[in-house]
Structure 1
Amino acid sequence: MEQPDDDHGVSPSYRPKKLQPDDHSFDSSDEVNDCPIEQVRLTVSIKDDPTLPCLTIRTWILGITACTTLAFLNQFFGYRQNALSLTSVSAQVVVLPLGKFMAAVLPKKVVHVPGTKWSFSLNPGPFNLKEHVLITIFANTGSTNVYAMNIITIVMAFYHRHIHFLAAMLLTLTTQMLGYGWAGIFRKFLVDSPYMWWPANLVQVSLFRALHEEEVRPKGGLMRLQFFLIVLISSFAYYVVPNYLFPSITALSFVCWIWKDSVTAQQIGSGRRGLGIGSFALDWATVAAFIGSPLATPGFALINISIGFFLMLYVLIPIAYWTNAFEAKRFPIISSHVFDANGGKYNVGLVLNETNFQFNQQGYDDYSKVHLSIFFAFAYGLSFATLAATISHVALFHGRTIWQQTQAAFRDKFDDVHTRLMKKNYDAVPQWWFYSLWLIMIGLAMVACEGFGGQLQLPYWGVILAIGVVLFFMLPIGVITATTNQQFGLNVISELIVGYMYPGRPLANVVFKTYSYISMVQAITFLSDFKLGHYMKIPPKSMFIVQLVGTVVASSVYFSTAWWLLTSVDNICDPSKLPMGSPWTCPGDDVFYNASIIWGVVGPLRMFGRLGVYAKMNYFFLFGILAPVPVWILSRMFPEKKWIRLINMPIIISGSPSMPPGTAVNNICWLTVGIFFNVYVYGRYKSWWARHNYILSAGLDAGVAFMAILCYYTLQTRDINGMRWWGLDLDDHCPLAGCPTAAGIKVGDCPVFH
């Protein structure tokens, strides 16, 4: 795979390639496709027609409908045991025939807005590519989960406390929209720069081209649209098996079935609660559930991830567990829960003062320190190292480039074919649009935190500190995301900072984490959408308006859906009190709740500080800072060996980026599929890869989403499930995988070792 080789990100062997005459658009006949990234040159067209209408009545109707629908379904499914995250690809497919239908039947009438000079046509002509892209941007805002819903859920369903409706609504809106300010500050570096290529966007670019461009069917082959429809129908038809008839196929762990009475064998073989050796799945949802499609991740990043995953899961964790580091054998080998010293589930009620909702020191002293599974402990340690390594890696490998791009950004010197076309044909979004919105959201965030009796526990200075954290980390994390499709979050470092500064307050901790972590995630999302618009030649002001309206609509729908379910479903998120077979178990919120105990109630001083069990995990910060240095030195010593620069220590250290709540089988399947297509197929059959890889990803995603929705609304809402049999359980049938192995520890139905 060709990647940037010198400090400017351009391979010395690359020379711009002139397009064939039939590749030129009416507006770019003199342009050369001089984008320095090969995958972009293979996927993104340099055609543009600036006369196409964008913000049409079709865009608004279909866009808001898609945004609302995805927001409702994602929040609805998010509380369920078999969680499903619907991406904008589903809407991207559905709205095309709807748009064409509206173009065929709506009258070509001009409507004047009363009292203004504004007017619009009900039917401005054929449904076009730019309308389709903007509708998909609307859908993107609806498919992006609202992190603040985790806070509202744990307050109401786990801590069983009241939160003011308006405080919850302001928290939802401000956490989602703070990211616009960061997007405005960093768009010059992360959008205009051709070296920031955002690999995941190429999936949608490829699908847009397949759906809109006319092409001649190759002899003995298929047009891209035909290929997409075949994949979509096949994925749709097959997903009834793992989703409804045979859910156990989502994790097949043969080692457990062979050694049914061995705890060790099941710890090794379980794909859901163990190391996953020999475990696999026959289900695309398992592959793409937690990290997204592997087909959208560059090959060099996949290889780095696979190295880190192997070293973590099959070297570090087994050594630490079977040498009983941190009393590891008292607890499951892999779990995201918190435990007391006797291996039981930690009773947070004993260490939390119900009156003021703060830490109870006496109860803690009388009860137990908090303990973690060895995997969860090292997952936190490696997240410390990953963040430190990101800063070090970007400074060493991209420092000079960032400085040169900073100078270029201020001089407006970025110059590839896509940037030239955008600057020539469209006006940029004024910076004050971003900054004004940013300042308004900061003000509202302070009102949400300081008002309403201080229910959110975070003082105003916490909002300001969260902004400072994002300012420091935004550029290095943005560079990594824009070049590798791997995004490292600020959740752990945010929890650590506020946990030390403002301990014993669980809501203050998670609110601070949300204002720092999610404002950066939202900024990354906005920037990614801007890059998609950059590739598809969408007017930037139209992009901004659609993102803004979409975010407001999506936030309102997510909040309304969550509030409705939390106030109407009895015992939601409490499996011990739910009826047998009830799906409302909230697995993602359960992880969030346990994190609030670790960082908010007990605090990092009693977890990773001098008073805690896991103080040695802080050495991972030092390890992370130093890890990229040897690679950088080797790249300087042997500049002719280009592969050295593709060693990415932050990605390697991250190991298993989706765990938890992802599992070993998710990562194993994700890496296997990704390496096959983006290393083997890309290297051996590049022409096939260029035409079909991203379309294959889009078709698989869409088929899974449509079948899941169909099954739910036609069968599962009526409690019509498949016949009762062994394969109907959403489990890998490794009941002993979560058992402790220390002598004398008795937990549930687990055997007691002596």
Structure 2
Amino acid sequence: MHQRTRSPLESLNLSLHKLTSDNKMAMFHLHLSQEAKRQRIQDKIIATHAGIEEHSAGYLRPWQLLKLKIDASEINMNSQDIIKFKPCFFSPLSTDTIRICLSKQLCKNTSNGGSLGYAGPGNTPSSTATQCPLILDLFREKYATSVRKGFCLDNLTTLRECGKGKWKQQPGLELTEKLSTESWQILRILEDLEHEVPHAVCDIRQNIQIDKTKGLTVAEVKAIMRVMAVRIGLDCYRRHSIMPMTTAEMASKELNEKSFKSPQVSADVEVQQGGFEEIQPEFDLSEQEKEPNEFDYESEHSPFPEVRAVVPETDDPGLPVNTFRMWVLGFIFTIVGSGINQFFSLRYPSVHIVSLVAELLAYPCGVFLAKVLPLWTISLGRLGSFTLNPDRHFNIKEHALIVIMSNVSFGYGSADSTNIIQASSARFYNFGLSAGFSVLVVLCAQLLGFGVAGLAAPWLVEPARIIWPQVLSNCAMLETLHSRANTVANGWKISRLRFFLYVTAGGFVWYFFPGLMFTALSYFTWICWIAPRNVVVNQLFGMQTGLGLSPITFDWSQVAYNTNPLLSPSWAAINVFAGFALFFWIVVPGIYYSNTWFTAYLPLMTADVYDRTGTVYDTARVISADNTLDVDAYRQYSPPYLPATYAFVYGLSFASITAVLTHIGVWHGKEVWAALKGKNKLDIHARLMRSYKKTPWYWYAAIIAIITAIAIVMVEVYHTKLPVYGVFLGLIIPAIYMIPCGIIQGITNVDANQLNVLAEFIGGYMFEGKPLANMIFKILSTDVVGQGVYFAMDMKLGHYLKIPPRTLFMAQGLATILGALTQAGVTIWMLGHIQDICSSDQSDGFTCPNGRTVYSSSVIWGLVGPRRLYSVGRIYSSLLHFFWIGAIAPLITYLLYKYTRNQFWKYINWPLIFVGTYNVPPATGINYSSWALVNFAFNHFIKKRFFAWWKKYNYILAAALDTGLALSGIVIFFCISYPGAVFPDWWGNTVYVNTADGEGVAYKSMPEVGYFGPANGTWS
């Protein structure tokens, strides 16, 4: 295919992109699509920045010039000249006086043979080209403070002052309307630039074709001068740990006439590997850094401060990504992490290795491989060749791909589909399914999630508004490990890396107290300790089976039980907490203490299902020999009864199922439609991703088609009793809900996926009495969306760090297959080789807690079925009203906003209000009140008052707290719990257990007849 020849200006912009990316600093590239209204101001600023200002009036103020430092060795001043110069420069003089003073000194040294380029002290210029037009070199050191503040010296005015006829000898680069720059002048610039970044010069020479007869246009000369400006900025950064402003930022300052708010506190600068040296902080952005408003999408920065805080806004397409060392580490972490997590998921208590641990461990491993692997290119004959080690630098893109492979394989926990294997084992249903079914069911669920995530990428990955807050924690950690840039933030000079290490170490040590030695710090229910037998007090303030009205806990695992509170926006946290307080601190107590649905005979806050005697429902008593419902036994035993919180959560789930669709329709409908038509608003990150080939949508569609066919074969060959239409019906749910659930979680970091309730409801009605069919239907609908959201989240991480989409596709796909095979294989091996596995009294604790939960749930929903619980006239039928309540609630607030234009209504998010409590039970009030308090403190108060501190440290604090907790939990488990050691029982570990809250005491005692509810045999 014929490739369009680039114009010199486009070539320069491309070369400048590579120059700035290779040196890891902000881009000075000029988008050709910039708004016309900014063009004039940008031209003026570019000219000023490059030293070719058209106007005599400068932008500098005297106090700014006073901060310039003069390096005498660079301009060959002798001691007498320095003495004469200092009073001139450091006195409070006017701008013009200072310019004249500078001009005299500069021209004096030039006329004496001083070098204005890189010839070195005492050397004369190598050609007549070294004249005042190349004075930019002279100010490399002197520009530091002024560039930092977003200003540059007006060199052209200085040159005019010192001209003395010399200015007229050469046309130079004077900005005129009829400019014709000679080739030798351009080459002289390139030669001068070559001392600094020779690889970029080669790229420029390859892309620029200089017409010796016509010269260059004004715009092209500006672009070349911008290359020179970047060179100055590079030197300033190396010497002073500063970041120059880009043209768009300076233009924004000129347009708004406000103090500049830097969009990036830290710089994206890769460091020499193997050490922890840091750039010392040189300046404080605290006074300039306030929480900025959203910028224009066409800005050179992300429209959102959360993203600007941790995501680099530059890219180097030349960085090696698809490397041997990346694949080796990615496969190792995938296999080992998946195997360990799956092995211990069948045990209680368990341990879970999160991706942050893999992210931390991958860095030294990657640095080690980069150092020791030989720089060889290995030939594969006709297949081509590959490079064993491209360089000695383990870069951030390779690191991110390893993290992504870890995430999709084990970072979010074991695949839910492995629970079907456990529930089908001999200990539970004993379906006698082969290993082939076990492998296929896991592969199908995981790969279908991968496929739907890829198709949903235009809605969930490309839009800037879908920021995925959880991804920002990963970005912060990656940036911290690969960058040593540092600034002062509200007086804090400590670097991100040291901050991360200190907090991680502190969190690691501290968790030994609430996690092992003084567990009452975790359940700090001091009111219950005072009145341990008072049932009402324990139900209100307890944290195990109570409402948790007290927000005090000293355990980060309790605070971050739902999600990390430092990641969600404050308005989202307010919605979640308001929903919890309304429903569980007001409505649920009314239901409970009025004994609605016989709930007062049961514990207040628990996830167990009970029979009419108040004991946990014994599913074995209602199952026949052929794994169907024994109706007679069911009538003689008991219908299932749900505790107040558990029953009400189902109602909220019904509301969230409809509220999600309505909310997305009225508030985000235009965005969804724009993405469908391919008209997303592209921010800087989306524009930078245009440098790479996209992954075709039909790759993901092909995966869905192939896996759907495999799923059909699976359900038929293994006689699962799920009809073929059940497979397609199950896939309709993700087709409808993938984008709405992804949008909500991508904006708020709150999981909006309550489709397990919908799948149980639909599957229970359609496949009643078929537990295996019910479980598979639930996996094909719920798990596909759940996994798809995680895949989309990792695609956003790749988007932020500019990983080539096709390389990302291969990494996610291979890690998914490898992780699924590993998890299925470990589960099959354990079920066949560990004695008494999945029994409640297994000696090593391998009781299969997740498989047991799925089994019990399938009995309630698959055998007993929702028809006996929720149909009209049944005990919980009133909860069906939540379907229409959830559907109309977003419409009401939307209409109120349209009518009043009050922003208050815009921030009421009904899906969050309904779905935010999805972890109740087992989560209690402490998990929501403490979470909301920490969120409000950091993401509202600190963000508003100390924005520079928040921007620099918030996301790395989130990563550090989670990492310290994870590492401490792993050490406690493997060194103490798993070997069988126990910490001595003492008051601090038993006081909260020996209470009515810890024992789950009900409000009402059992009636004298020994049961509650209808008489024997009166239910069906």
User: TM-score with structure 2 length normalisation?
Assistant: 0.67
Residue in 2 that maps onto 1:9: none
Residue in 2 that maps onto 1:442: 708
| 1:261-660 equivalences in 2 (<5 Å) | 261-278=533-550, 280-289=552-561, 291-355=562-626, 357-407=627-677, 409=678, 414-423=681-690, 425-452=691-718, 454=719, 456-489=720-753, 490-575=755-840, 577-579=841-843, 583-610=845-872, 612-639=874-901, 641-660=902-921
CA RMSD of aligned residues (A): 2.6
Please list every run of 5 or more consecutive structure 1 residues that lacks an aligned counterpart in the other structure.
1-14, 749-754
1:673 Cα offset (Å): 2.0
Residue by residue over 1:675-730, the C-alpha shift from the partner in whole angstroms, topping out at 9 and shown as x without a partner, is: 22222222221111111111011111111222222233333332222223344469
Q: Does 1:143 align with 2:406?
A: no
Residue in 2 that maps onto 1:187: 457
3-state SS in 2 of match to 1:358: coil
**CA distance in structure 1 between the partners assigned to 2:299 and 2:394 by the alignment:** 29
Q: Does 1:51 align with 2:321?
A: no
1:624 Cα offset (Å): 0.6
**CA distance in structure 2 between the partners assigned to 1:75 and 1:115 by the alignment:** 40
1:572 Cα offset (Å): 4.0
**CA distance in structure 2 between the partners assigned to 1:602 and 1:516 by the alignment:** 21
Residue in 2 that maps onto 1:256: 528
3-state SS in 2 of match to 1:192: coil
**CA distance in structure 1 between the partners assigned to 2:864 and 2:535 by the alignment:** 31
**CA distance in structure 2 between the partners assigned to 1:566 and 1:464 by the alignment:** 31
Decide which of 151, 154, 174 is 2:423's aligned counterpart: 154
**CA distance in structure 2 between the partners assigned to 1:405 and 1:119 by the alignment:** 38
1:72 Cα offset (Å): 2.5
* Paired residues of 2:496 and 2:952 also in contact (CA < 8 A): yes
Of structures 1 and 2, the one scoring higher in RCO (CA 8 A, sep 6+) is: 1
**CA distance in structure 2 between the partners assigned to 1:21 and 1:553 by the alignment:** 38
Decide which of 131, 137, 142 is 2:398's aligned counterpart: 131
Residue in 1 that maps onto 2:965: 704
* Paired residues of 1:106 and 1:123 also in contact (CA < 8 A): no
**CA distance in structure 1 between the partners assigned to 2:916 and 2:383 by the alignment:** 57
1:259 Cα offset (Å): 1.7
Moved more, 721-730 or 543-552: 721-730
**CA distance in structure 2 between the partners assigned to 1:106 and 1:237 by the alignment:** 36
CA pair 364-147 structure 1, distance change in 2 beyond 3 A: same
Decide which of 995, 1003, 1019 is 1:741's aligned counterpart: 1003
Moved more, 679-688 or 155-164: 155-164
* Paired residues of 2:484 and 2:495 also in contact (CA < 8 A): no
1:558 Cα offset (Å): 1.9
* Paired residues of 1:369 and 1:612 also in contact (CA < 8 A): no
CA pair 243-559 structure 1, distance change in 2 beyond 3 A: farther
Letter of the 2:828 counterpart: W
1:740 Cα offset (Å): 2.8
**CA distance in structure 1 between the partners assigned to 2:555 and 2:572 by the alignment:** 23
* Paired residues of 1:343 and 1:740 also in contact (CA < 8 A): no
Residue in 2 that maps onto 1:118: 385
CA pair 747-259 structure 1, distance change in 2 beyond 3 A: farther
* Paired residues of 1:181 and 1:435 also in contact (CA < 8 A): yes
CA pair 162-675 structure 1, distance change in 2 beyond 3 A: farther
1:443 Cα offset (Å): 1.4
CA pair 279-155 structure 1, distance change in 2 beyond 3 A: farther
Give the length in aligned residue pairs.
719
Moved more, 489-498 or 550-559: 550-559
Residue by residue over 1:153-200, the C-alpha shift from the partner in whole angstroms, topping out at 9 and shown as x without a partner, is: 222244455332111111011111101221232111211122222121
3-state SS in 2 of match to 1:119: strand
1:217 Cα offset (Å): 5.3
Moved more, 728-737 or 331-340: 728-737
* Paired residues of 2:645 and 2:921 also in contact (CA < 8 A): no
* Paired residues of 1:269 and 1:279 also in contact (CA < 8 A): no
1:365 Cα offset (Å): 2.3
Matched-pair identity in %:
31
**CA distance in structure 1 between the partners assigned to 2:1007 and 2:567 by the alignment:** 45
**CA distance in structure 1 between the partners assigned to 2:598 and 2:319 by the alignment:** 65
Please list every run of 5 or more consecutive structure 2 residues that lacks an aligned counterpart in the other structure.
1-246, 251-261, 270-296, 1011-1020
3-state SS in 1 of match to 2:813: helix
* Paired residues of 2:722 and 2:777 also in contact (CA < 8 A): yes
Residue by residue over 1:454-493, the C-alpha shift from the partner in whole angstroms, topping out at 9 and shown as x without a partner, is: 1x33222211101111112222112111211112221110
Residue in 2 that maps onto 1:39: 306
| 1:80-95 equivalences in 2 (<5 Å) | 80-95=347-362
Rg larger in structure: 2
Letter of the 2:421 counterpart: I
Residue in 1 that maps onto 2:339: 72
1:549 Cα offset (Å): 0.9
Letter of the 1:500 counterpart: Y
User: TM-score with structure 1 length normalisation?
Assistant: 0.90
Decide which of 161, 165, 172 is 2:435's aligned counterpart: 165
* Paired residues of 1:334 and 1:373 also in contact (CA < 8 A): yes
Residue in 2 that maps onto 1:663: 924
CA pair 592-666 structure 1, distance change in 2 beyond 3 A: farther
Letter of the 1:45 counterpart: P
* Paired residues of 1:250 and 1:286 also in contact (CA < 8 A): yes
CA pair 744-199 structure 1, distance change in 2 beyond 3 A: closer
**CA distance in structure 2 between the partners assigned to 1:96 and 1:259 by the alignment:** 51
| 1:221-260 equivalences in 2 (<5 Å) | 221-260=493-532
* Paired residues of 2:370 and 2:392 also in contact (CA < 8 A): yes
* Paired residues of 1:384 and 1:621 also in contact (CA < 8 A): yes
* Paired residues of 2:377 and 2:385 also in contact (CA < 8 A): no
* Paired residues of 1:504 and 1:603 also in contact (CA < 8 A): yes
1:746 Cα offset (Å): 8.4
Letter of the 2:456 counterpart: F
CA pair 364-428 structure 1, distance change in 2 beyond 3 A: same
**CA distance in structure 1 between the partners assigned to 2:971 and 2:590 by the alignment:** 46
Residue by residue over 1:203-223, the C-alpha shift from the partner in whole angstroms, topping out at 9 and shown as x without a partner, is: 111222111123145375111
**CA distance in structure 2 between the partners assigned to 1:175 and 1:20 by the alignment:** 41
**CA distance in structure 2 between the partners assigned to 1:534 and 1:155 by the alignment:** 40
**CA distance in structure 1 between the partners assigned to 2:649 and 2:925 by the alignment:** 13
Letter of the 2:907 counterpart: L
Letter of the 1:533 counterpart: G
1:106 Cα offset (Å): 1.6
3-state SS in 2 of match to 1:296: coil
Letter of the 2:699 counterpart: W
* Paired residues of 1:494 and 1:516 also in contact (CA < 8 A): yes
